[in-house]
Structure 1
Amino acid sequence: MKIFQWIYTLYAALLFIILMLIFGLFIVIPLLLSSRGGKISFVFIRLWSSVWSFLVGIRYQVHGREHIDPNQPYIYIFNHRSFIDAPVIPMAIHQEVRAIGKKELSKIPVFGFIVSRVAVWVDRKDADSRKESVEKLLKILEKGISIVVAPEGTRNNSGQALLPFQKGAFRIASETGIPIMPMAVIGADRVMKRGSILMRPGVIDIYFSSAIETTTYSGEEGHIRLADKCFNRLEAMILTHE
């Protein structure tokens, strides 16, 4: 069976690159022409993700989208278990968003150039880089654009539902009053198993809950309490639906 998985994985990777080259200009040009071009760009990002997913046999089932107010910016938090989480974001969230990404990804030819327009790169080992990324995220939220954060800080290769949360996103939330929207991604690690680059077709379920208000959490203690509340909510969503 491994040989078929290798063939499928190579097919999926090649198709991803071809579609990236086809849709790349349509994603980048609106953002280069206008700061308001993000909505147009995200139409093509979703088109890229949906065409690729359809052709490789990955389906998405979204639950709880009624909790999302399309006119309200959110800080989306999700559990990060697989590299396949990237296309999940535009397929699940029908808002213009910006995501945090590892700086290393920006060095990938073509892909890094395209995604740089809709991502904030950060070197998590560099304090200055982390501070700069927070400042960029604050400016994005001020424009009414949502952001997407994996608060575990890295891909979860453990057997636990979640790794301990880093506090940056929750400081931003409490300082801005932007509500947090938990998003549980179930099944991505079956499409691409942890610790493997091999893929297989499958179904990914995405669950949203009601938003978590952040205006009453202030100071360092408030950031910790908010992070704990979000951790408990997201963990319960994962354990309920796995």
Structure 2
Amino acid sequence: MNWLKNIVGRIYAVYGLLLFAATLLIVLIPIWIISFLPDPRKTRYFLNIGRVWMKFYMPLIGCPVFRKGLQFFEKGRQYVVVCNHNSLIDVPVTTPGVPGVNKTLAKSSMGKIPLFGMMYHIGGIMVDRSSEASRRESIVKMKEALAMGMHMVLFPEGTRNRTGQPLKEFYDGAFNLAIDTQTPIMPSLLFHTRKIQVPGKFLYAWPHRIDYHFLEPIETAGLTRDDTPALKEKVFRIMWDYYTAHT
């Protein structure tokens, strides 16, 4: 019956894309208007719209989101939230799913996509990873976002994990940022998004609930860049152990 599931999965994927496009048209004009505002107001209003949008959209495609660990967010504090990355659906879950105002790091190529680009420019900090100047500028902008009271939501694996392992090796960026700004690291984990968008399958998806868990923050006060490898390994191990214990 795999052939039948493949057909249904492709019909479902088309349904999800069409519904996304239809609902995008509803929120497009308000998002365009707020794009002219300064930060952090611009990002705050964008997230308010996005949270309402995803609150309806995700259940309508059979992928309701359930969050756990929200008590770890202390009012008035900023966090570098690090999360595993398995599929394209991760960003519309994490961006509205993290409480408070937050930005993520996005590839500059995403900012060139019509309509989508506007949203990425509001909710993200764009970076061209092939350009050293762009990477340096993105670091400055991430520090500015934290200074303005926004969280940074980062995927330390860099790209989507298409391996059979729970996590890919982490890059240093998120941990250097947390140490440089003395901002706590908050590990977080998405569950089941790989089941929705199966790696290697084009135009195929399958509905499934999504769980988004936040773990206890790790303080970086007093740490220096010399501590980056140990901090990265500590967070990696915490996330690996938690993920394997809950799947």
Same fold per superposition (TM over 0.5): yes
Q: How big is the shift at 1:3? A: 1.6
Quick check: 1:217–1:226 contact (8 Å CA) kept in 2?
Answer: no
Measure, in 1, the Cα distance between the counterparts of 2:234 and 2:222. 13
Measure, in 1, the Cα distance between the counterparts of 2:131 and 2:121. 19
Q: What letter corresponds to residue 182 of structure 2 in structure 1?
A: G
Mapped pair 1:27 → 2:34: no
Q: How many residues align?
A: 241
In structure 2, the residue matched to 1:6 is 10
Deviates more, 1:81-90 or 1:182-191: 81-90
Mapped pair 1:240 → 2:245: yes
Q: Give deviations 1:105-134, integer Å, cap 9, x for gaps.
A: 112111112221111112223222211111
In structure 1, the residue matched to 2:158 is 153
Measure, in 2, the Cα distance between the counterparts of 1:114 and 1:235. 31
In structure 2, the residue matched to 1:18 is 22
Partner-residue secondary structure (3-state), 1:170: helix
Which 4+ stretches in 1 moved above 6 angstroms?
none
Quick check: 1:72–1:144 contact (8 Å CA) kept in 2?
Answer: yes
Aligned-residue CA RMSD (Å): 1.5
Against the structure 1 CA distance between its residues 69 and 31, is the aligned structure 2 distance closer, same or farther, given a 3 Å change threshold?
A: farther
Measure, in 1, the Cα distance between the counterparts of 2:67 and 2:21. 26
In structure 2, the residue matched to 1:205 is 211
Measure, in 2, the Cα distance between the counterparts of 1:127 and 1:37. 28
Unpaired runs of 5+ residues, structure 2, are none
Measure, in 1, the Cα distance between the counterparts of 2:246 and 2:76. 28
Mapped pair 1:179 → 2:184: yes
Measure, in 2, the Cα distance between the counterparts of 1:162 and 1:146. 22
Quick check: 1:64–1:208 contact (8 Å CA) kept in 2?
Answer: yes
Partner-residue secondary structure (3-state), 2:220: coil
Measure, in 2, the Cα distance between the counterparts of 1:223 and 1:18. 44
Q: What letter corresponds to residue 17 of structure 2 in structure 1?
A: A
Measure, in 1, the Cα distance between the counterparts of 2:241 and 2:32. 38
Partner-residue secondary structure (3-state), 2:36: helix
Match of 1:59 among 64, 71, 78: 64
Mapped pair 1:121 → 2:121: no
Mapped pair 1:217 → 2:214: no
Measure, in 2, the Cα distance between the counterparts of 1:138 and 1:183. 20
Quick check: 2:101–2:149 contact (8 Å CA) kept in 1?
Answer: no
Measure, in 2, the Cα distance between the counterparts of 1:211 and 1:136. 23
Quick check: 1:165–1:231 contact (8 Å CA) kept in 2?
Answer: yes
Measure, in 2, the Cα distance between the counterparts of 1:158 and 1:143. 36
Match of 1:189 among 172, 194, 214: 194
